[in-house]
Every structure is written in C-alpha cells, then in structure tokens.
Structure 1
C-alpha cells in the first residue's frame, strides 16, 4: 500500500492586484500581466505585508485554461523579506471564467485554482519555507487573489 500524503494549513496570502495589461494573442494563448500592488500574509507564526511590486504573468489558453506564474515578495512583521514564485492553474466552466475576466463575482468553489508556491529568504527563522513543499488553494476576486498555503507533510 502506498504511503498517504497529508498537508497542513500554514498561512493565507491576500494579494491585491491592479489593472490587467494584455500583450494579446501570442500563438499559444493570450498573454496577460497583472500587477501586484500590496496585500497581507496571515497565519500562525507568520504575518506580514505583501510588497507593492511584482506581477502575475498569465497565459489564457484557447480552452480558457489559465496558466499563472506570479513573482513578488512579502515582508514579515519581524522584518524578514520572503521572495515568492507561485505557479498554478485556474480552470472551470467557460462562462464562469469569462465572468471572472470581467471582474464579476464567482463562487470560488466552482473554479479549480491551485498553485505551487516556492519561497526564498535569508532569514534563519523562515528557512523552513525553503525546506518544504507547499500547495495553494486560491480564489480570484475582482481586486485580489486569496491563497491558502498548505505545507506538504
């Protein structure tokens, strides 16, 4: 019998986002760039502010599957800077994805939105972020993305 994987919730990242810029159809889909303008991190033993720089670089495939790659950083309340690279997928019924694109509310439970965040920091206290794998369960709202980060045990 194969061993079971389990996860443990560790924190939530709320990333505030700006206006979408599109580079248009690039041959494999539509390239979009969404600036990250701030936000917060809240969890047990880790809290802070998302730095107001970075972006989410997306490709919307012809079937509306969205491939995401966000790069940004956050600063913890105790002064550590943590760089984040977060790759993921968002997919669901086409009509709901189109509503999201227009900034209209959609029940997050109806959209598959999962990410794989990777962290880098020179802080000894938060070195554990570089020594573990994480998955995120995310929800897109008109002005923000909320990512519940889980450690893979």
Structure 2
C-alpha cells in the first residue's frame, strides 16, 4: 500500500491587490509586480487583516506559465504580525489566462494555481505556523487573490 499524504484546511487569506506594474519582457519572460494593498485572514482559531506591506513578483513565461513569489504580512486580531512568503505557479488554457490578465472573471476550477506559503512570527500563539509545511490552493480575481491554506500533516 502506498503512503498517503494528508493535509488539513487551516485558514483562507484574501489579499486585495493593486494595479499591475510591468517591467516588460526581460528575456526570461514578462516581469510583473502586483502590490498587496490589504485584505483579511479567516479560519478556525485565526483571523486578522492583511497589511498593505508587500507585493507579488511574477514572471510570465512564453507559454503563459506564471511563476510567482509574494511577500507580505498580516496582523491577527490579537496583535501578532505574521510575515508571509508564498511561492507558486498559475497555469491554464491561454485564452483563460488572457481573460484573467484583462481582469475578466474566470472559473477558478479551470486554472491550476497552487502555492507553498511559509510563515514567520515571534508570537508564541502562532509558532505552529513556523514549524509546519503548508500548501495553498488559490484563485485570482480582478481585485484580489484568495488562498485556501492547508497544513501538511
């Protein structure tokens, strides 16, 4: 019998995003910077607000594969500041990715968007975030990115 990898849902990050800043085609792909301007975190035992504190740095490859690296922070309702570093990829049919780029709605189930969030904090109530691995299943909307975070058990 093959071993099974188990996860459990822990919270959702809804990061509101600003206007896309493009550095153009750098030879490796199109470099984009998308500011994180706020949002919220909600889950069992954790809630708070995403701080206007960072951005998502992306490279769009010629085949429309998007490699992303987001860095930002959120503050919990009890005052803990948690730094987030989230690396991932987004890929799907070219016509749907083009719609997303134009800010048009696309069914998230039709786009593969997965991330590997990593957290840092000195607050004792949230040390469990620093000692476990997490994966995220994400969806891009015109004004926000929604990431369902799952702990790898």
TM-score (norm 1): 0.99
In structure 2, C-alpha distance between the alignment counterparts of 1:109 and 1:14, rounded to whole Å? 17
The alignment's C-alpha RMSD in Å is 0.5
Aligned length: 153
The equivalent of 1:62 in structure 2 is: 62
Shift of 1:86: 0.1
In structure 2, C-alpha distance between the alignment counterparts of 1:3 and 1:112, rounded to whole Å? 24
Shift of 1:2: 3.3
SS at the partner of 1:3? coil
SS at the partner of 1:96? helix
Shift of 1:17: 0.1
The equivalent of 1:92 in structure 2 is: 92
SS at the partner of 2:98? helix
- Write out aligned runs for 1:1-153 (5 A): 1-153=1-153
TM-score (norm 2): 0.99
SS at the partner of 1:125? helix
In structure 2, C-alpha distance between the alignment counterparts of 1:2 and 1:86, rounded to whole Å? 29
SS at the partner of 1:126? helix
In structure 1, C-alpha distance between the alignment counterparts of 2:58 and 2:39, rounded to whole Å? 20
Unaligned runs of 5+ in 2: none
In structure 2, C-alpha distance between the alignment counterparts of 1:114 and 1:140, rounded to whole Å? 11
Shift of 1:3: 1.8
Shift of 1:133: 0.3
